[in-house]
Chain A
């Protein structure tokens, strides 16, 4: 149980285009999902907290107009990288917290490469 999927697992896009990444909790409902970014050989940095039915809370330094987050249902959150640039290339990881519990379960990540 407690499986989280991400789609796509990897994506290559051209500079200036937008990319949408999906995060789904497959066998549980998640009121809260989190989006992290991981640079090569570095730790995960929290980008934003996504709550179902409300606006996401962004961490300091994360552009909310560039990284659009939507959490329209208890099993799906999406991250859209708008007007992508090469410096947005990274590994994006989501996690989902089952309603009423503290643990987070992580998706496998999405490798984004912007050319």
Chain B
């Protein structure tokens, strides 16, 4: 079945450091891939998405590229801020548009 694996956290960085959160997936066909962010005490917000191979999703300085050859969708940001501290979830949705399948989440903590 479909599944998502993302790196274990927590990830602790200093402000302006480079961020990478790894995400790999297992799926048949051509799923859509997403990154969601959950700030403390809040619901999930869509951060970025990519719907086909080699697509790059980007938002708020975050980027992720859909790599079919490595079945990956790693999240990157060149310079993190304290306000980026949150839990990040990688997710996939199959071609039929059914419910999202989430990774376990990675907690990011950024200190000034």
A residues within 8 A CB of B36? 106
Could you say which of A43, A103, A108 has the most chain B C-beta atoms within 10 Å of its C-beta? Answer: A43
A residues within 8 A CB of B43? 6, 93, 106-109
Return the chain A residue nearest B51 by Cβ. A102
Q: How far, in Å, is B86 (CB) from chain A's closest CB?
A: 13
Return the chain A residue nearest B89 by Cβ. A43
Q: A43 CA to B103 CA in the complex, in Å?
A: 6
A28 at the interface (CB under 8 A from B): no
Within 8 A of A (CB), among B16-54: 32, 36, 42-46, 49, 51
B residues within 8 A CB of A46? 99-101
Q: How many residues does chain B have at the interface if contact means C-beta atoms less than 8 Å apart?
A: 21
Q: Which of B46, B89, B102, B107 contacts A103 (CB 8 A)?
A: B46
Q: Are A49 and B45 in contact (CB under 8 A)?
A: no
Q: Are B104 and A103 in contact (CB under 8 A)?
A: no
Q: Are B44 and A97 in contact (CB under 8 A)?
A: no
B residues within 8 A CB of A42? 104-105
B residues within 8 A CB of A108? 42-43
| CB 8 Å contact bits of A86-101 with B (1 = contact, 0 = none) | 0000000101010000
Q: How many residues does chain A have at the interface if contact means C-beta atoms less than 8 Å apart?
A: 19
Q: A95 CA to B38 CA in the complex, in Å?
A: 14
B61 at the interface (CB under 8 A from A): no
Q: Are B104 and A43 in contact (CB under 8 A)?
A: yes
A80 at the interface (CB under 8 A from B): no
Q: A91 CA to B51 CA in the complex, in Å?
A: 29
Q: How far, in Å, is B16 (CB) from chain A's closest CB?
A: 27
B112 at the interface (CB under 8 A from A): no
Q: Which of B89, B97, B104, B105 contacts A102 (CB 8 A)?
A: B97
Return the chain A residue nearest B46 by Cβ. A103
B residues within 8 A CB of A102? 32, 51, 93, 97
A residues within 8 A CB of B49? 103
Q: What are 12 A-B interface contacts by the 8 Å CB criterion?
A: A6-B43, A34-B99, A41-B105, A43-B103, A43-B105, A95-B44, A95-B100, A102-B93, A104-B46, A104-B99, A106-B36, A106-B43
